[in-house]
Amino acid sequence: MNMPSYPTVRLTPKGDARAIRHGFPWVYANELVTDRRTRGLTAGALAVLEDANRVPLGLVTVNPASKIICRMIDRDTEAVIDTAWFAAKLTRALIHRERIYDAPFYRLVHAEADGLPGVVIDRFGDTAVIQPNAAWADALIEPLCDALVQVTGVTTVVMNASGRARSLEGLDDRMGILRGDAPTAAIPVPMNGATYMADLMGGQKTGLFFDQRPNHAFAASLSRGARVLDMFSHVGGFGLAALAGGAASVLAVDGSEPALALADQGAAAMGVSDKFTTRKGDAFDTLAALAEEGAQFDLVVCDPPAFAPNKSSLEAGLRAYERIARLAATLVADGGYLMVCSCSHAADLTRFRNASARGIGRAGRRSQVIQTGFAGPDHPLLPHLAESGYLKAVTFRL
């Protein structure tokens, strides 16, 4: 068998070879010798990464157009990245998910943490949705797709190639069907006793957010007989879980009419439409309006989009988290609960929790933290990469 012949790229003397050896998966553009030959590599090309002394560190993918110019893909510099290689990675990922969940609805691949940098795969029964958020995954989408079908037995594979991560890689947005037929209707997803309707072709991201599953479950445990407000509800994430937990009523608020329509479908599938109400509107305006109406809830959940997606937006994002907590706290009945969530990796847990606590204090309320939650175990965290542990959920009792 002929061994592959890969080009080489090399760290500068300031490049952190020790971090790479210890498991950090990225090389930034200012850490790499970017001569004409390196700049001429095709986005997504494979190369052997060497330290400044030309000692090999492993096999990387290279994208000269990205600030993350290299992503570690295999410690073996002679690895062949083909269908069999992908199948081995996917099998390892699948074994973990099948141990945890009794139904095939989960995140199957969580990018770097599952050894496939920039690749997200969510599974919805016989359908899988791939987000190739790095150039190498775009280039090798066919062997990846072949391995996915081979390992999982899914019959439909959707590619949802869109979002900020792709633009940072210099990639365009694309949507398509790689295998099988396009889903013609929303797919019902059972989770925590609730039923969610996932629009895999027109919804946000891959159609549903699996990461909040354990936090949905905790909110449900607080919901028996409760009046619940689910802000930034999307397709009913926390609200439907609360109804499965015995909530007396749920008001779901979101800015997207199609998302709220899917939430209504989920409530109907559960037989709880009589307890479920939706309201379309801007979250900040709606919270203020509810306060003017004198509304009170036993549990309020705020799960906004990332207010601080990067370091440059951190301070503005923390102010937004503080404001949302202040507005929401006024709606919580005495002895009730406020859960606030952040998917901003730039805002670490301490700063996010402190911003939320300031907001609660500014609303004239006292609080105690009763629980801190993170993404579920189908979203593993790579210890060397803080960005892989982006989700935080903090629950206060007021």
Do 19 and 162 lie in one domain? The reply is no
Give the pLDDT band (50/70/90) at residue 377: very high
Tell me which residue range forms the domain holding 229: 188-397
How many domains would you assign to the chain?
A: 3
pLDDT tens, residue by residue, 126-145: 999 999 999 999 999 999 99
Section 105-124 average pLDDT? 96
* Nearest in space to 283 (alpha carbons), one of 305, 310, 308: 305
Establish whether 343 is a catalytic residue.
Answer: yes
* Nearest in space to 191 (alpha carbons), one of 212, 170, 162: 212
pLDDT tens, residue by residue, 16-73: 999 999 999 999 999 999 999 999 999 999 999 999 999 999 999 999 999 999 999 9
Contact 238, 303 (CB under 8 A): yes
Asked which of 128, 145, 179 is the last residue of a domain, the reply is 179
The active-site residue out of 70, 145, 302, 343 is: 343
CATH number of the domain residue 133 falls in: 3.30.750.80
What does the block give as tokens for 40?
């001429």
Looking at residue 144, what is its pLDDT?
A: 98
CATH number of the domain residue 34 falls in: 2.30.130.10
Do 244 and 323 lie in one domain? The reply is yes
Section 297-302 average pLDDT? 98
Q: Who wins on pLDDT, 36 or 2?
A: 36
What does the block give as tokens for 121?
């795969």
Do 132 and 231 lie in one domain? The reply is no
Give the pLDDT band (50/70/90) at residue 9: very high
In a domain, 393, yes or no: yes
Do 141 and 64 lie in one domain? The reply is no
pLDDT tens, residue by residue, 222-250: 999 999 999 999 999 999 999 999 999 99
Do 215 and 127 lie in one domain? The reply is no
* pLDDT higher than threshold 90 for residue 320: yes
Looking at residue 4, what is its pLDDT?
A: 75
In a domain, 3, yes or no: no
Q: DSSP assignment of 130-165, as one string?
A: EEE-SHHHHHTHHHHHHHHHHHH--SEEEEEE-SHH
In a domain, 369, yes or no: yes
Do 363 and 227 lie in one domain? The reply is yes
In a domain, 2, yes or no: no
